[in-house]
């Protein structure tokens, strides 16, 4: 079953192709660091070819009735659902997360495809009362053109459908460069798009180990009208600079530093369960993971104890093993970063309630679920995205104080509050300077809502009607002399 979706070549112009250079690069299973595939290593030349075919396909794709574009997307959605198990296997193989989580990601990603298939038909415009009686003002929405998408490894499937499906629904064509650690999920989705019968050149995938080379083509080629990127703030900044010369449109979903606030009125069990889900999903490797957990002093000790009991029960291991809750981290750089942040906190006076070391018996990339107390706002792990299964608990005393501390970051993606005081819920959700505020709920991401951040967490939104608009231009028509 998995075999038919395990593709290793680039998908350009509706065909599976080797890179022009004939080079390949290895993909590893992070659970055992064994090579699982050699994938075509696309060069700038391959990317240029992909741009050329995407541009050629754009004219006819945009002309299709939205209902016709929706039909392709619906077919793709059905195929993704039919192959959910095989897609999840591939995802776990290259990314490491437990199979159940991988399956959840595939289904969540498929939901975006279904949603945008429906939204394709609702790209409504406006008819505006004109300034003159003999004039009419019409506003319509049009596809921006060819889109270049660059995606990360932490959600190798859902980050793709979130970009590809609104782009295609809007009438754009797309070139996707997936992360070098996880190209197989992208290629498997392309294999299903091929089965769904999308016209040639509408959806292209160029895997590479030379991200900057492909990034340069996508940002500098005038035929590409928009870059949609999810990844680090550092790379997002670079891509935005590269796009500046052409005033190319960008949507950027970048890093986060999510506060998770537990107030005195919180339901303790609900808050602990919420934190477990928010912190340890994907081994903490998400841009919306709780990064700074602020617990009110009145319940700090009780909360820490209840949290520790649950954390100690978590089972790390290879994602394809039954009963495993936490998989490995993605690669050496990932685990080294976590080790460094924890070491820095411990050296500066933090205490580990559990974990704080590698689970070396399982392999080189496994890190034990960790809780730290005695952490301070000056520590490196307070300012940086941890991207690992490490939960630092900060104590606070006063609402205004914790709001100020929570907002004291360059990031502004997700924030969480556990609170049962109505007045405080509004106070927090008004004051938190974030693109997203979740109250008494750890799961923010849904295709129905606008996902995205403020400040240095990015520009633009994914999901919802706003996610479709990212791929559309507004055209104003003035009809005069009527």
CB atoms within 10 A of CB 401: 11
| Residue 151 within binding range of ligand ADP, rule CB under 6 A | yes
256 binds ligand ADP (CB under 6 A): no
Per CB under 6 A, 212 contacts ligand ADP:
yes
User: Which of 98, 152, 392, 453 is close enough to bind ligand ADP by CB under 6 A?
Assistant: 152
Between 231 and 442, CB nearer to ligand ADP: 231
Q: Which of 160, 179, 187, 202 binds ligand ADP (CB under 6 A)?
A: 179
Nearer to ligand ADP by C-beta: 166 or 215?
215
Give the Å distances, CA to CA, from 185 to 8, 63, 154, 443, 479: 10, 30, 11, 23, 48
Q: How far is CA 120 from CA 172, 224, 308, in A?
A: 11, 21, 46
Nearer to ligand ADP, 29 or 233 (CB): 233
Tokens of 96: 């490491």
**Single residue of 89, 101, 180, 325 touching ligand ADP by CB under 6 A:** 180
- Report the nearest approach of ligand ADP to the CB of residue 231 (Å): 3
List, as one string, the DSSP characters of 28-87: EETTTTEEEEEEE---HHHHHHHHHHHHHHHHHHHHS-HHHHHHHHHHHHHHHHHTHHHH
CB of 331 to ligand ADP, least distance (A): 9
Residue nearest to ligand ADP (CB): 215
Under 8 Å between Cβ of 255 and 385: yes
Q: Which residues are known to be catalytic?
A: 253, 287
Q: What whole-number distance in Å separates Cα of residue 278 and Cα of residue 249? A: 32
**150 counts as binding ligand ADP under rule CB under 6 A:** yes
Tell the smallest beta-carbon distance from residue 298 to ligand ADP (Å): 37
Choose the stretch contacting ligand ADP; rule: CB under 6 A; options: 189-197, 211-219, 372-380, 460-468: 211-219
Task: Give the residue among 221, 304, 294 at the shortest CA–CA distance from 46.
Answer: 221
Nearest in space to 246 (alpha carbons), one of 263, 227, 231, 261: 227
Helix H or strand E segment including 170: helix 158-170
- In the bound complex, what is the minimum distance in angstroms from residue 151's beta carbon to ligand ADP? 6
Residue 435 DSSP class: S
For the CB of residue 243, give the shortest distance to ligand ADP in the complex, in Å.
Answer: 11
Q: Are 189 and 79 in contact (CB under 8 A)?
A: no
Q: How many CB atoms lie within 10 A of CB 451?
A: 25
211 binds ligand ADP (CB under 6 A): yes
**Cα-only R_g, the chain:** 23
The smaller minimum CB distance to ligand ADP, of residues 186 and 406, is found at 186
Asked if residue 238 binds ligand ADP (CB under 6 A), the reply is yes
365 binds ligand ADP (CB under 6 A): no
Q: Does 215 bind ligand ADP (CB under 6 A)?
A: yes
Considering the complex, state which of residue 102 and residue 235 has its C-beta at the smaller distance from ligand ADP: 235
Bin 256: left if φ > 0, else alpha if -120 < ψ < 50, else beta.
Answer: beta
| Total residues at interface with ligand ADP (CB under 6 A) | 13
Residues at the site binding ligand ADP, with contacts judged by CB under 6 A? 150-152, 177, 179-180, 211-212, 215, 231-232, 235, 238
């Amino acid at each position: 079953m998995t075999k038919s979706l395990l593709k290793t070549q680039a998908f350009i112009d509706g065909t599976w192709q080797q890179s022009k250079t004939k080079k390949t690069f290895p993909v590893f299973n992070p659970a055992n660091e064994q090579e699982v595939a050699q994938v075509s290593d696309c060069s700038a030349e391959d990317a240029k070819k992909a741009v050329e075919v995407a541009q050629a396909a754009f004219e006819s794709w945009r002309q299709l009735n939205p209902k016709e574009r929706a039909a392709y997307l619906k077919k793709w959605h059905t195929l993704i659902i039919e192959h959910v198990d095989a897609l999840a296997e591939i995802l776990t193989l290259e990314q490491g997360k437990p199979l159940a989580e991988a399956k959840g990601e595939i289904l969540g990603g498929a939901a975006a495809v279904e949603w945008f298939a429906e939204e394709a038909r609702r790209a409504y415009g406006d008819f505006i009362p004109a300034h003159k009686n003999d004039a009419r003002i019409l506003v319509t929405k049009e596809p921006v053109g060819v889109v270049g998408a660059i995606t990360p490894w932490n959600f190798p499937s859902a980050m793709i459908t979130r970009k590809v499906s609104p782009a295609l629904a809007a009438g754009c064509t797309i070139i996707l460069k997936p992360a070098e650690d996880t190209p197989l999920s992208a290629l498997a989705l392309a294999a299903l798009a091929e089965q769904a019968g999308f016209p040639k050149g509408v959806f292209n995938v160029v895997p590479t180990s030379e991200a900057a080379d492909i990034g340069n083509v996508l940002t500098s080629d005038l035929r590409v009208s928009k870059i949609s990127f999810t990844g680090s703030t550092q790379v997002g900044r670079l891509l935005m600079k590269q796009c500046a010369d052409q005033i190319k449109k960008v949507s950027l979903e970048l890093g986060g530093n999510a506060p998770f606030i537990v107030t005195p009125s919180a339901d303790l069990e609900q808050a602990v369960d919420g934190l477990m889900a928010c912190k340890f999903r994907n081994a903490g490797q998400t841009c919306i993971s709780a990064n700074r957990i602020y617990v009110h002093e009145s319940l700090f000790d009780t909360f820490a104890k209840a949290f520790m009991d649950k954390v100690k029960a978590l089972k790390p291991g290879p994602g394809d093993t039954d009963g495993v809750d936490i998989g490995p981290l993605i690669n050496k750089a990932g685990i080294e970063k976590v080790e460094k942040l924890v070491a820095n906190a411990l050296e500066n006076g933090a205490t580990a309630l559990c974990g704080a070391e590698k689970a070396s018996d399982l392999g080189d990339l496994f890190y034990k679920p960790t809780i730290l107390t005695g952490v301070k706002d000056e520590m490196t792990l307070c300012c940086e995205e941890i991207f690992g299964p490490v939960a630092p608990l900060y104590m606070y005393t006063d609402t205004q104080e914790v709001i100020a501390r929570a907002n004291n970051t360059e990031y502004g993606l997700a924030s969480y509050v556990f609170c049962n005081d109505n007045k405080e819920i509004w106070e927090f959700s008004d004051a938190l300077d974030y693109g997203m505020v979740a109250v008494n709920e750890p799961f923010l991401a849904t295709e129905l809502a606008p996902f995205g951040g403020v400040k240095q967490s990015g520009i633009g939104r994914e999901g919802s009607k706003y996610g479709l608009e990212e791929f559309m231009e507004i055209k104003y028509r003035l009809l005069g002399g009527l």
